[in-house]
Structure 1
């Protein structure tokens, strides 16, 4: 191994975000000898969230490299096929589990906990805090925080999602980079009145899709997923749950199937997720000593394998930093390697909204006919191959092998 490979590009790294991308990178960098601090605005590790999936050899290689593949498999959802119905509940078509859930599917909160538990003995986690400013010098970068005392690092990584704070501080307002795809997604929990068990039911009206699902964790609770079209970005407060409820009730008013019962249950829930189906598009995702990872730099949101893209990005970024002595060279190599892959995932994501919430009754019927045909024995496996293609469109280099860390038992 040459001297360049043995010399990490700046050992003190601050990562913003403790969801998936941040802990994945923290785990990899700590095994390469970096001193890593992760700052997270939430007061504790966030549980719950939507299920996320991995598919294809590239995703598996990265999870194996992180040492979490077997544990991810132990916590997978084992979700079954999903059925699309009309307003009377009559089946229109089905989608195989592998199309919606990949090779292995796990709740975002479970994956976040696994990565956190594997890294926490070698990584400093600071919860309930956020970066307020970044000032760079020739040799280092100074960070100030909402609550903690100012500190100095060699590098800063923004792994803090679609609405990244680090991206705002280093690159400017998100309006320059956030591209609205014409749809919104919402999620919340309701009573499982259909007694679903590891399956889902989807109903469509023009421009609106709504799903009831149960992943087997709690037989009494069902998740609701809403996807609806909006040609222009909606104006609302991202932190106002009451406003979210009103907006969703208005969008889905007057629909059949189980929608009235779902909207009635919505009135009594305190936890509602609502955000645009959007993508981050940037000419470059690094500047000086700051680099963006995952949704913060090239978010693919729903349908674009965003979690798989995030862990692959973390793998590549850690590998390039461990390979190159200078962070500028490492960042350039990371961006060059991840860009095409990210763009492919984003292209795949562009079809999620029209597929889950077709604009007209005619398009709903057409989608159903197409997917019924693709699920036929003659074309069995085609849908799965279609989704795996973008997930595997990257060649992973043989990076320096990091030092294995002893497994940490779950709390």
Structure 2
């Protein structure tokens, strides 16, 4: 029975473990954190990703664990709605997708589905890899050493393990820093994803969750990703300086950053010339991160895990399987990485005129007539999440 080591226990890793274990493989998942990471912000599942969770028998559980977000609105300085778009009503539509779930909640569902069919090792990570003719010898930070037929890296955009295999791989920075945190819910909060643009290349958002709190983001344009590498105390001071004159709920978010954990990210993408080397492959964000701006990260992770496992079942050897996986997934990932021209700058206007123009454009785009035209055009121009013919594997 072939054995595979999967690194990363977020979304792509446990999803891959599910399909491989179902096919009779011995699967070990190693996660460098001491336990399952049940934190994270809102993510959506669209198109092919929806098909994958259906085939896993997880769709109803995922829907039941949804955030309860009902739609998306742009607000002005006083919090009044400027434009509103209700949640999608199909597999792929809407800024708020039909399926919205917290990353940690999805990770927990995937873990529960695989905990008895795969071996999970928490608090450890790969320190070294040596490929042999028939297997890969793996050294772990704990001092343990094991051998596996294959290794699959299912980590994030800045994957440490990927550097051991592809040392030249570096993220392509998109000119935006994004900060995530959680704030206490108050009576004035709603079940909508609210966007506020104070100018100065900044944006503030609040989103509901199903845990009685509100997930918040602060984002700002930056010519360099350096702020993401600063110590937390310096990041806090930087955010207070950048957002000190921003209105609406910004002071509330800044206070939350002082009092609770936050995650600071330099937004980027990963574009690799190859997704495998010998007996090692990469999947999900480690292979083809499209950035949070795409709304496709989770869908790519689920779809890539499904296709990679399926090709390993269908092909005569891992080299053929890896090549077929890449041939199927690369056009799909490429489509997801092609962001709207001008993004993220058009969503982070610098001047007050830019803010007024953005609000006017979103008001027009969310009008009934334009929304009807968009629905009609969607048959001719499918959402990127739909741009793959998902195979059925035995």
TM-score (norm 1): 0.88
Does the CA contact (< 8 Å) of 1:198 and 1:216 recur in 2?
Answer: no
Q: Distance in 1 between matches of 2:342 and 2:143?
A: 43
Does the CA contact (< 8 Å) of 1:301 and 1:349 recur in 2?
Answer: no
User: 1:381 offset after TM fit, Å?
Assistant: 5.2
Match of 1:141 among 136, 140, 158: 136
Does the CA contact (< 8 Å) of 2:30 and 2:122 recur in 1?
Answer: yes
Change (3 A) 1:24 1:382: farther
Q: Distance in 2 between matches of 1:253 and 1:277?
A: 22
Name the count of aligned residue pairs.
384
- CA deviation map 1:366-403 (0-9, x unaligned): 22222222211112256674996100101112212xxx
- CA deviation map 1:143-174 (0-9, x unaligned): 1111151000011111011111221010105x
Give the structure 2 partner of residue 73 of structure 1.
63
- CA deviation map 1:288-311 (0-9, x unaligned): 111110100100121321000110
Give the structure 1 partner of residue 284 of structure 2.
294
Does the CA contact (< 8 Å) of 1:210 and 1:225 recur in 2?
Answer: yes
Confirm or deny that 1:39 pairs with 2:30.
Answer: yes
User: 1:94 offset after TM fit, Å?
Assistant: 2.1
Match of 1:358 among 339, 349, 360: 349
Change (3 A) 1:33 1:165: same
In structure 1, runs of 5+ residues without a counterpart are 1-9, 401-411
1:177-216 superposed matches below 5 A: 177-193=170-186, 195-204=188-197, 205-216=199-210
In structure 2, runs of 5+ residues without a counterpart are 89-93
1:168-247 superposed matches below 5 A: 168-173=163-168, 176-193=169-186, 195-204=188-197, 205-218=199-212, 221-237=213-229, 240-247=231-238
Q: Distance in 1 between matches of 2:35 and 2:343?
A: 31
TM-score (norm 2): 0.92
Give the structure 2 partner of residue 62 of structure 1.
52
Does the CA contact (< 8 Å) of 1:303 and 1:350 recur in 2?
Answer: no
Does the CA contact (< 8 Å) of 1:140 and 1:153 recur in 2?
Answer: yes
Q: Distance in 1 between matches of 2:41 and 2:306?
A: 23
Confirm or deny that 1:266 pairs with 2:257.
Answer: yes
Give the structure 2 partner of residue 284 of structure 1.
274
Q: Distance in 2 between matches of 1:231 and 1:310?
A: 28
User: 1:222 offset after TM fit, Å?
Assistant: 2.2
SS in 2 for 1:224: strand
Does the CA contact (< 8 Å) of 1:185 and 1:228 recur in 2?
Answer: yes
Give the structure 1 partner of residue 99 of structure 2.
104
SS in 1 for 2:174: strand
